[in-house]
Structures are given as structure tokens and as C-alpha cells.
Amino acid sequence: MKKFYLSILTLLLIFGCAAKHTQPKGIAYDFWLAQKNHHIDEAAKLTLKQNKNDTKLHKKIKIEDIHFDNATIKDNQATIPTTLTLKDFSMLNHKEAKISFDTKMQKQDNNWKINMFETKKALYLAIGKEFAQSLSNDLGSVIQQTLGDKEQIQGIFKQLIKGIQKATKESDKIN
């Protein structure tokens, strides 16, 4: 009789642990983990039907770590604040970068799915901003080592960053 109960408990543990996530945060984690491991077919299963062909990220995006904050759910829409740590981000010193953006989801056929179009747009915009900042810092260091005048160089790059930020804000208003 003990073997019977032990067998039932073992089966419950096995099948209970193998259950798929059904809440937005868990699905987002499964999606980004599949992206990290380059399992694009698995990631595609977690996206909206119309986004299946857009699941693959740019080949230079190398995910090292994944972090989420609490999801905001309203009706059939969910927003999950997401931070990806990307490795080899900086061109000069191959530092990693933390990229924060929102993973957007919506219900389709009573299941939460990644809205790849909106998520990818937010991710690439965040990468662009971080890349501009990283490039500015990298170039600033190189120029400073070469030329010296720190305040003038910082002023130029601050103006460059402000221009990029203004352009991205205007882009957000258009979209």
C-alpha cells in the first residue's frame, strides 16, 4: 500500500512540475528563456499567431540573464516590465548591458501570447538607446585619451544623446 501511495505522489510531482505556465509572467519567462537558448520554434509557440514569422531576434542579441517585475493585466492585455542582460554589448570593451523594456502580451484563444510586434519594437528601441549611450561612453573614453578636453567632449555627446532621446520620444508619439 505504501508503494501505491508513493507511486501516486511521484506521478503527481512529475506531472505537476512539467505543467506549462499559464500566467503572463510565466509565459514571458518561457518565451525569453527559449530566445536565450536559441529555441526559436519554442518561442514562436508562445507568440500571437500573426507574429510567428517575426519571432527570431537579431543574431547579435546574446541574452545572459532575464528579470521581470510584476505584470500589469487589464482585460485581454498584459504588460510585463522586463530586463534582459545582454553580453558582448559594447563594441570596444565587450561589456554587458541591462536593457529594460515591456514584454507585451494579449489573450488569443483564451491563452496568453507574446505580442511580438510590440515587444520587439520596445526591445529594439531600448537597445538603440543603450547602444547610443554605450557608444558615447566608449568613444568619449577613446577621444579623451587621444585629445584630452573632457568637458567639451562630454558636452558634444550629451547633445547627441539628447537628440537621440528626442527623436525616440517623437517616434513613440507617432506610433
Whether domain 17-174 has CATH 3.10.450.50: yes
Where are the chain's structural domains? 17-174
Please state the pTM of the whole predicted model. 0.68
Contact indicator for 168, 129 with CB cutoff of 8 Å: yes
pLDDT of residue 31: 96
Handedness of CA 79, 109, 29, 91 (dihedral sign): negative
Could you tell me whether strands 97-108 and 77-86 are parallel, antiparallel, or unpaired per DSSP bridges? antiparallel
Q: Encode the chain (175 residues) as per-residue pLDDT tens digits.
A: 555 544 554 444 444 444 467 799 999 999 999 999 999 999 999 999 998 888 888 888 899 999 999 999 999 999 999 999 998 776 666 678 899 999 999 999 999 999 999 999 999 999 888 888 777 776 666 666 666 566 776 777 788 888 788 777 766 666 5
Smallest CA-to-CA distance from 98 within 72, 71, 123 is with 123
Residue 39, by phi and psi: left (phi above 0), alpha (psi -120 to 50) or beta? beta
pLDDT of residue 11: 45
Helix count and strand count (H, E) for the chain: 5, 5
